[in-house]
Structure 1
């Protein structure tokens, strides 16, 4: 498909136009346990897969705030589609942390889809010119439709010292297991990917430390895009949860008017004070989550524009606030689901899928409320954050 969208406003408008179709395809996506090809084609045409590609490679190179706007709209239509789009776009930004030679290969197309994660469940064995990659990576969201895959692995140096490295490899070099059978985020296709004896040239491997600091050699930094690895990933991820909550609110409002409340004399649920309180509560939780989000998005961009890294205290605070924003979005959906009556459990009612998706995605280890509040709380108490994931 030819992509004619060249700025954030046009991409956001294009995504808004396809939200009804993404929502309509939700049940099919869940049954497929992967995104329908129509969803991927619509996102491609809207320019979603170009939002993080550097301009020097023909991409839109949108700042983080604008990327979040786009990803929120996608998740408003379908939680699983939003999650996969977020993984692909955040991993595309991560690819800019590799040496220029690798980037030239990765961005041979300006619309690229990259999956991957940070669990070092593979090994890299040094050989002439690079490494041999072996291992399996579970919960590899989006791997079924990705062009490239990021595989965090461990290398053991001659003295026995282990070191975590990050490799980026064509997805065609992996096999994908049919093992994604879940009650939530079912359409993300987050299957296990496996590499056996795959050669990875040295320029496609960087240290985990270089990934965190953006300090890989032979790399041309993109001005205004030095967000810091985990801060960027967290900021991108929250967009999915906020988008799901916004979509759930819309779905609730569409079906509530004129619905009777069973075993009562109330013939229009929207006229009941409790329902009015519930809707306002959910809406305000979403607004509060967005307000927190706006604060750290501004801080991220200010630091990137001034080429000044965030402090560990700021990163820890962002972790806590991001997880809290996710909690608020989850609570908003819970309120709406609880207010929807028994008919909401029908698979034909999209709201139940939005509820299950946000419940499941909120279990993600990097985004878990308790873990992130612990890191944030330690810093507030004057302690070391005691986490490398900053």
Structure 2
């Protein structure tokens, strides 16, 4: 396919910024209906954002990680649910870019780009058959499955000899059964429902063995082999992408706090204007510091991914663990910033039409995610720095 010139980082990030007002207009509807609004999805596609991690030969941007995290942060500033789904899509696109090129020809066919959801929980089994595998299983937390045509599932490949190994399988979203169980406190509009596969045939070209990918960086694409995008290790790349939604949600809390601030007083005090209170000054400074620190961690892991892949450098276990640390730290700091601003917003902020209450629930949901959880990532980094083996395969 024809390769088109991709926009530079300021332009593509500006396109994401330009969507923030549209996204916020639909945020309450999205939360109530537990899906993303069609106008929001069309806006993202029309802005070319779905092409960020699509190979250039399909008209994609093959954007660097620094660009990707800034775009995710801006979309999350509009609505955390959109930012979370977009984060899943970027990881899904990246994984599809590791498949054999003939599989990519089918999946990346749409010139506007494609939303490819992702679930990292190995909730199913894949058994070899002629030409591929037969997939069975049940997977919760399937972010993006309701909003895009393709989905990447984790599964355990069970060999004829009884051996078991992890694989990623890419399937049409329409081939999966859906259990409408996404009734949650936060990130409601992600529509991260449970999906089911029953004797679903998946051709070999859409099956990706994970051990060679995680341990050795080997994948199955010939045409993407020299691209820096697909030379990055999975865990550091996913850590950069996964850290960005929390930053954007914290920035959203900052925005909505200052939108309400000029009209607010502090009830049962003599402060007719909240802006005059020294306490407010302290709260604003504390929130700003935490948001800046969260941004530091998001951008540090993104810069490291870009720099090391461009230089062709290998990754030490400590560097990989630090990527997870950055993700956990950014997630925690964003939550702390939102908590400060929510506390400063007063009792009126508990009404359902106050955006900050949705923001608070979204950032809490992000912090509870198994891979992003700050405590888990702190422990992992500490283990590695103390000379112990990591207690996870996602490194």
Which of the five TM-score ranges fits, normalised by the shorter chain? Answer: over 0.9
Distance in 1, matches of 2:255 and 2:344, equals 14
Structure 1 residue 70, shift from structure 2 partner: 0.8
Tell me whether 1:247 sits opposite 2:248 in the alignment.
Answer: no
Distance in 2, matches of 1:115 and 1:222, equals 25
Determine the structure 2 residue equivalent to 1:216.
Answer: 219
Distance in 1, matches of 2:5 and 2:351, equals 39
Structure 1 residue 386, shift from structure 2 partner: 2.7
- Kindly report which structure 2 residues correspond to 1:84-233, keeping only aligned pairs within 5 A, or say none: 84-110=85-111, 111-212=113-214, 213-217=216-220, 219-220=222-223, 221-225=225-229, 226-233=231-238
Deviations 1:7-26 (A, max 9, x none): 33222222212211211211
Structure 1 residue 218, shift from structure 2 partner: 5.0
Distance in 2, matches of 1:21 and 1:208, equals 38
Distance in 1, matches of 2:170 and 2:314, equals 25
Determine the structure 1 residue equivalent to 2:41.
Answer: 40
3-state SS of paired residue (2:19): helix
CA contact (8 A) 2:331 2:366 kept: no
Tell me whether 1:336 sits opposite 2:336 in the alignment.
Answer: no
Unpaired stretches in structure 2, ≥5 consecutive residues: none
Determine the structure 1 residue equivalent to 2:31.
Answer: 30
Distance in 2, matches of 1:4 and 1:144, equals 31
Distance in 1, matches of 2:385 and 2:356, equals 38
- Give TM-score scaled by structure 1 length: 0.96
Distance in 2, matches of 1:156 and 1:250, equals 50
Structure 1 residue 385, shift from structure 2 partner: 2.0
Structure 1 residue 294, shift from structure 2 partner: 2.4
CA contact (8 A) 1:260 1:267 kept: yes
- How many equivalent residue pairs? 388
3-state SS of paired residue (2:263): coil
Moved more, 120-129 or 7-16: 7-16
Distance in 2, matches of 1:113 and 1:279, equals 37
CA contact (8 A) 2:6 2:61 kept: no
3-state SS of paired residue (1:118): coil
Moved more, 364-373 or 308-317: 308-317
Distance in 2, matches of 1:172 and 1:222, equals 33
Structure 1 residue 360, shift from structure 2 partner: 1.1
Cα 1:223–1:156 shift into 2, 3 Å? same
Cα 1:5–1:311 shift into 2, 3 Å? closer
Structure 1 residue 379, shift from structure 2 partner: 1.6
3-state SS of paired residue (2:146): helix
CA contact (8 A) 1:8 1:70 kept: no
Structure 1 residue 338, shift from structure 2 partner: 0.6
Distance in 1, matches of 2:221 and 2:28, equals 46
Deviations 1:24-81 (A, max 9, x none): 2111001110101111011111111111101111101100100111111100111101
Determine the structure 1 residue equivalent to 2:379.
Answer: 374
CA contact (8 A) 1:258 1:270 kept: no
Structure 1 residue 5, shift from structure 2 partner: 7.5
Structure 1 residue 373, shift from structure 2 partner: 0.7
Deviations 1:187-223 (A, max 9, x none): 0000011111111111111211133243124533142
Structure 1 residue 128, shift from structure 2 partner: 0.8
